[in-house]
């Protein structure tokens, strides 16, 4: 799968961009030229040799805060996608094999989650349980779970109606064995596509929450929080929101590119598999008339 994704031009671009973003998340605090929490008298300073992106309203180096805030922004989006994966994909597959009661209950729960607005529920839960990153990520992950549920359920339904699964069930195979042996291999490609899309969507939601001051409290830096504070002083530093906004847009765009590359590769693999299947030979046509 990885080699086929890298064979696509969009896959190489996406992997390259996301690799740089991952390096920022890992080594951002080390690469920061100054302490991102240290204030100074140089408030709202312009771009200079000592401050490549200027300073904020408290005199803190903007580049250092941008690099230091990479980890919270990126790790938060990945955690949201992982929570959505476990909450949505596992019940989606099991709903096909655990009977009508479990299927009905999970479908009603997913319909309820789809109808809930993201930001409103996140604000309400954090107001109830406290303004913390754990509460915010958990809520967003659960609200993004319906995408994984529908994708995994659709893939499991297509496999459940196949002849080899029916033969395995007739021969006495348990649902756990059928899921482990036949279903997961068919469910993983669409789940991988959904995972890439969800990381991008989670990144937008996490950035929106931090933009509103939910999840990560000051003075901790995040890309959404930096964008919010920079917009407040736009008349003094019109260039300041460009860097965090550009990082958010590029990251989401790379996630979407990766999802498109995985989808294209999965489609090509499926067509190649169908082309390798032995075709039935047509019977030879007998000549008309007598010999």
What does the alpha-carbon distance between residue 151 and residue 167 come to, in Å, rounded to a whole number? 24
- Which residues lie closer than 8 Å to 72 by C-beta, 6 or more apart? 133, 210, 216, 220, 221, 222
Nearest to 140 by CA among 88, 192, 218: 88
pLDDT of residue 121: 82
Domains and CATH numbers, the chain: 2-38+53-271 (1.10.3720.10)
Other CB atoms within 10 A of residue 127 CB: 11
* Bridge partners of residue 226, in order along the sequence: none
Q: Is 110 left (phi over 0), alpha (psi -120 to 50) or beta?
A: alpha
- The residue count of the chain comes to 291
| CB crowding 220-241: b at 16 or more within 10 Å, else e | bbbbbbbbbbbeeeeeebeebb
- Cα–Cα distance for residue pair 71/40, rounded to 1 Å: 24
Instruction: Find all residues with CB under 8 Å of 85, minimum gap 6, and list them.
Output: 148, 191, 195, 198
Full-model pTM: 0.81
Return the sign of the alpha-carbon dihedral for residues 72, 75, 77, 82: negative
In a structure prediction context, what are the per-residue pLDDT tens digits for the chain, which is 291 residues long? 678 888 888 889 999 999 999 998 899 888 888 888 888 888 888 888 888 888 988 899 999 999 988 888 888 889 999 999 999 998 998 888 888 899 999 999 999 888 888 778 877 887 777 777 778 888 889 989 999 999 989 888 887 777 777 777 777 777 777 777 777 777 888 898 999 999 998 888 888 888 888 777 777 888 988 888 888 888 888 888 899 999 999 999 999 999 999 988 886 544 443 444 444 444 444 455 544
Contact 196, 255 (CB under 8 A): yes
What is residue 277's predicted lDDT score, i.e. its pLDDT? 45
């Amino acid at each position: 799968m990885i080699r086929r994704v890298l064979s696509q031009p969009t896959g190489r671009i996406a992997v390259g961009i996301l690799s740089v973003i991952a390096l920022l998340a890992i080594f951002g605090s080390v690469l920061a030229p100054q302490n991102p929490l240290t204030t100074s008298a140089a408030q709202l300073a312009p771009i200079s040799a000592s401050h490549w992106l200027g300073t904020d309203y408290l005199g803190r180096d903007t580049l250092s805060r941008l690099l230091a805030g990479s980890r919270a922004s990126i790790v938060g989006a990945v955690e949201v996608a992982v929570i959505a994966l476990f909450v949505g994909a596992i019940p989606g597959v099991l709903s096909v094999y655990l009977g009508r009661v479990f299927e009905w209950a999970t479908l009603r729960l997913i319909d309820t989650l789809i109808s809930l607005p993201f930001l409103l529920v996140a604000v309400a839960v954090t107001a109830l349980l406290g303004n913390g990153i754990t509460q915010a990520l958990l809520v967003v992950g659960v609200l993004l779970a319906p995408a994984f549920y529908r994708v995994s359920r659709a893939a499991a339904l297509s496999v459940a109606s196949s002849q080899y699964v029916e033969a395995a069930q007739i021969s006495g195979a348990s649902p756990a064995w059928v899921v482990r042996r036949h279903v997961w291999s068919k469910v993983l490609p669409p789940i991988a596509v959904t995972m890439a899309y969800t990381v991008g969507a989670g990144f937008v939601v996490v950035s929106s929450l931090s933009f509103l001051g939910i999840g990560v409290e000051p003075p901790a830096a995040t890309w959404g929080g930096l964008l919010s504070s920079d917009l407040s002083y736009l008349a003094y530093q019109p260039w300041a929101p460009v860097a965090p906004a550009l990082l958010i847009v590029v990251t989401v765009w790379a996630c979407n590119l990766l999802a498109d590359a995985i989808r294209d590769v999965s489609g090509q693999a499926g067509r190649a598999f169908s082309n390798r299947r032995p075709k039935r030979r047509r019977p030879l046509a007998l000549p008309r008339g007598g010999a």
